[in-house]
Amino acid sequence: MDDKAINIVARVASMYLEYGIKGVTMDDVAHKLAISKKTLYQHFKDKKDLVWAVLAYHDSKKNIDFSILDERNTNAINELFYYYEIQVEMIKNHKPAFVHDLRKYYPDIYLHFQKIKHKRILESVKNNLKKGKKEGLYRNDLNEDIISRLNLMRIEGIMNSDIFSVEELVSTNLFDEIFRYHLFGIVSDKGRKILDQKFNNILNQ
């Protein structure tokens, strides 16, 4: 996409998050962005094409850059805390109406980007588990393949069930408990000491 198309996608993404996908027509987009429909259709052949571009834009924003951690020679536990902080911000911006509309009206797009997301999460968790085992901070007997899939299943199961309310799903309290549940299940005795110290430092801040 050229710069103009990227700018359109970024602004439409905000509209979809605020009003839902169904509630925003191509006429609404043209009016809000102060462009003609002809210009809009020069970049996107129809609304589905625009929705696809918005999802691709969202997906590109979810690629976490761990290079700064590599430069600092960060251990696996600190890496997870870095990931946690980013996830908390994502949860705060989670819009159930956007996801609902996407699943209902554009299921093929939803499934496509779900597969991409799942692959990214599995690889990220698995790499972190391998790193933690190598550093002696995680249990040496853990199965990184099984645990990474269990972690994904737990998160997806929670997000796609009615066990928790919408308010609870976007609450950082819920994710905090999931995070702790995962951490305390994988750390070794050596890792537990570092983990306890990190939580003590957080409480004392």
Q: Where are the domains of the chain?
A: 3-56, 64-204
- Alpha helix ranges (H) inside 62-188: 67-71, 76-92, 96-105, 107-135, 144-159, 166-169, 172-186
Residue 173: the pLDDT is: 85
Give yes or no for residue 66 having a pLDDT over 80: no
User: Per-residue pLDDT averaged across 1-16, rounded?
Assistant: 93
- Looking at residue 97, what is its pLDDT? 87
What is 3-56's CATH topology? Arc Repressor Mutant, subunit A (1.10.10)
- Arithmetic mean of pLDDT over the chain: 89
Rounded mean pLDDT, 169-178: 83
Give pairs for 197-201: CB < 8 Å, separation 24+: 198/77, 198/78, 198/81
Query: Looking at residue 109, what is its pLDDT?
Result: 97
Residue 160 is predicted with a pLDDT of 78
First to last CA, the chain: 44
Say if residue 69's pLDDT is above 80: no
Per-residue pLDDT at 157: 85
> CB neighbours (10 Å) of residue 159?
12
Report pLDDT for 2: 86
pLDDT band at 71 (very low <50, low <70, confident <90, very high): low
d(CA 53, CA 30): 16
Give the torsion through C-alpha atoms of 39, 43, 47, 48, to 10 deg.
170
- Is a pLDDT exceeding 70 seen at residue 67? no
Is pLDDT at 64 greater than 70 in this prediction?
Answer: no
* DSSP class of 46: S
Contacts of 52 (CB under 8 A, 6+ apart): 109
Asked whether the predicted pLDDT for residue 147 surpasses 60, the reply is yes
The angle subtended at Cα 91 by Cα 198 and Cα 67, nearest 5°, is: 60
CA distance 196 to 94: 30
Cβ count near 111 (within 10 Å): 12
Fold designation for 64-204: Tetracycline Repressor; domain 2 (1.10.357)
pLDDT of residue 70: 59
* Mean pLDDT value of segment 154-175: 82
pLDDT in tens, 88-113: 777 777 788 898 999 999 999 999 99
User: Does residue 73 sit in helix, strand or coil?
Assistant: coil
The CA distances from residue 177 to 36, 84, 147, 184, 200, in Å, are 48, 11, 17, 11, 16
Averaged over 175-192, what is the pLDDT?
Answer: 93
Same fold, 3-56 and 64-204: no
Q: Tell which residue, 117, 90, 107, 111, has the closest CA to residue 17.
A: 90
Is pLDDT at 87 greater than 90 in this prediction? no
Portion of the chain with pLDDT greater than 90, in percent: 62
